[in-house]
Amino acid sequence: MKNIGINVNSSKDENNDILDHVLMILKKNFPGSQFHIYKDGIGLENSDDKNLDVLIALGGDGTILRAARKIYKFNTPILGVNIGHLGFLTSVELSELEEAIEKLKAKEFKVAERMMIKVTIPHKHNDNVHVALNDIVITKGTFSRMLTFDLYIDGSFYIRYKADGIIVSTPTGSTAYSLSAGGPIIYPTLNLINLTPICPNSNGVKTIILDEHNKITLKINSSGNNVFLSCDGQLELETNQYDEMIIEAEKEKCRLIEFNDYDYFNILRKKIIARSMDCEEK
């Protein structure tokens, strides 16, 4: 690996202590490599960085989500190192980093491709396409009334309902907001799209799971209320004046490094299921 990127969440490493530690380990294992440092994802989207052999993301899930949206088009694999709280998407904990870098050097890993989705706002002329690794969420404002959604699948009308919003998630994002809203857990490497309503006014409105080739058109009647669109809970846009959105699978995929001892169900049990059970007991 000749070009290695390091993206650090600066709020979790204010004095660069972790960054310096990571650089020391990397230089020991890859003495002839070039190292490119990024803070909070700034500059990752530049085309000059498309030749990175790997991007090491130092942070939590939010750090990986932000990085994924910026570099997915370059097919750069991401090695997530958890220095945050949950770290469900990360490959290793900081305490395991030295062993992980040795495995990286020995090529004892695989690259898992994770589906991404994109939303297009047809009547918005500038910056009208946005991508997400976890989910795209359309919601009403805090004090607004319910929104009315007309859902079309591949041009065919599916359903009309009122709700506080809708979550369109990938399998990766099925364990995030969608799960909290009653959606199912979907194995992360499947290519499916999950639509989960947020507080619908009818008990008959449930989650629907679609194929990656389906195109979802949402027509929204906001009745003058505020409407917000968010991608991965990070990018947020007010979209009151746009009454139609198209959501579909993104052609390119996010690539996450997984070591040979990676156990999805063990991580799911410890970091998602066990935590939710602890909350219920409290």
Catalytic annotation, residues: 61
Taking 3-state DSSP, the helix, strand and coil percentages for the chain, each rounded to the nearest 5, stand at 25, 35, 40
Best CA proximity match to 26, nearest among 92, 100, 76, 101: 101
Those residues whose C-beta lies under 8 Å from the C-beta of residue 121, and which sit 6 or more positions away, are 128, 129, 229, 239, 242, 244, 245, 246
Alpha carbons 167 and 177: distance in angstroms, whole number: 8
DSSP assignment string, 67-107:
HHHHHGGGT--EEEEE-SS--SS-SEEGGGHHHHHHHHHTT
Q: How far apart are CA 24 and CA 9, in angstroms?
A: 18
Tokens of 193: 């799209």
Residue with tokens 């065919």: 156
Q: Which of 203, 11, 214, 241 is nearest to 122 (CA)?
A: 241
